[in-house]
Structure 1
């Protein structure tokens, strides 16, 4: 059993040797343009393009809550687009768009990818920004699906400006 490692830094620049997966939460409506995805898109165009294709062609693929799309962006870095958010928060929304069961399912799929690749996992505090989730509910999911299975996880907090 491993502990989650917390660092201050940029999750798009993972601090580890060997294969690395950068994980983040996406919505199930095909929207990409706010939050952590902006940092991903600034660094690599492939995850956004792949997500948009995945959504566009969703009638013939697994695009749904709980699904994970792995996109290779460098020799030893992949980005995991994880669908754990139902829609987006609007002024008419009732409750946050995060779906904890979908996040658990995403993390379960992510564990399989990490095991296959021998990769470490790197992420911001997923699901707590625009998705409206609470870290005290997400952290135990990361523990049970990843670190309890020996998969190293690093959480990146942005340094204060």
Structure 2
């Protein structure tokens, strides 16, 4: 089975040839404006516009759903709804929803295979969503890697 490739650098600027999908986690309340999405918006306008459109339409806009937007010749961005709201609850529950992330990555695996694409990402869910990488990593193994999709995780320097 493949392993996760860890790289230093910017996940919005993938360091490989061929088809690639840059994936990241979005919330389920239509908010876009903090964290990794800012780097995406700086590079391409479509992912934010399509996310906002999707939220407005309400069509299958819920935890565990994904949206894939072509932004360049060999590059797509995948908006994954894996975060409930944007703040930690009074009970100390972080916005991340691991089951939703798993559903998203399972769907993404099939799209990646159809597009013959590799998947690139920051350490998804570990910033504003409040998730832990030791929870996310096994989910990536169970979904993307199990389907033989190459995965690149970027640590921004």
- Offset, 1:107: 0.2
> Following superposition of structure 1 onto structure 2, how do residues 143-154 of structure 1 map, counting pairs within 5 Å?
143-154=141-152
- Offset, 1:90: 5.4
SS, match of residue 54 in structure 2:
helix
| Count of residues paired in the alignment | 157
Structure 2 gaps of 5+ residues are none
- Offset, 1:132: 0.3
- Offset, 1:148: 2.0
Change beyond 3 A, Cα 1:118–1:29: same
SS, match of residue 31 in structure 1:
coil
CA RMSD of aligned residues (A): 1.1
CA distance in 1 between counterparts of 2:142 and 2:4 reads 11
TM-score under structure 2 length normalisation: 0.97
Structure 1 gaps of 5+ residues are none
Q: Deviations over 1:71-119 (max 9, x none)?
A: 0000110000000000011585731000000000000010011000000
SS, match of residue 14 in structure 2:
coil
Aligned partner of 2:18 in structure 1 is 18
1:62 and 2:55 matched: no
- Offset, 1:153: 0.1
Q: After TM superposition, what 4+ stretches of structure 1 lie above 4 angstroms from structure 2?
A: 90-93
